[in-house]
């Protein structure tokens, strides 16, 4: 199990806030104050530090959709390709393989947490989320 850092917490909240607490796959509204659960789902798993905090690698999904795409990787890939388009999808794949980027993220995890804590206010004002790296 991967440790949940402050950066993970604020990044996840930014992704869910940006989606207005609505599943990006099925449209289920799942605000945090209700018992319904909305996850920050990573296309490339959180163990892939090079894209762990990349907004293109994360999607707000209800628990049912998160479980579904995890069990159906081809459909998950098609969903992410549709969401990002071919160029951003390819750029994400290239970033995922960048070990230098991954080492940098590990070194700067505290700064990443601060960045996304600040970005949370930006997202709440309706502005787009900006990545860190």
Helix axes 63-71, 73-84, angle to 10 degrees: 110
**pLDDT higher at 33 or 109:** 109
| pLDDT higher than threshold 90 for residue 121 | yes
Give the pTM. 0.93
Rg (CA), the chain: 14
**pLDDT confidence band for 1 (50 / 70 / 90):** low
Distance between CA atoms of residues 55 and 52, nearest Å:
9
Strand partners for 41: 59
The pLDDT of residue 32? 82
Kindly state the average pLDDT of the residues 97-105. Answer: 95
- Strand, coil or helix: 41: strand
């Amino acid at each position: 199990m991967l440790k949940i850092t402050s950066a993970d917490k604020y990044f996840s909240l930014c992704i869910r806030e940006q989606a207005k607490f609505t599943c990006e796959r099925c449209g289920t509204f799942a605000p945090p104050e209700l018992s319904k659960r909305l996850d920050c789902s990573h296309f490339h798993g959180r163990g892939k530090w090079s894209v762990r905090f990349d907004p293109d690698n994360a999607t707000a999904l209800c628990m049912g959709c998160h479980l579904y795409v995890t069990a159906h990787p081809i459909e998950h890939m098609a969903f992410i390709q549709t969401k990002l388009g071919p160029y951003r999808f390819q750029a994400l794949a290239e970033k995922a393989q960048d070990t230098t980027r991954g080492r940098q993220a590990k070194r700067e995890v505290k700064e990443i947490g601060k960045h996304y804590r600040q970005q949370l206010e930006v997202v709440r004002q309706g502005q787009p989320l900006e990545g860190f790296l």
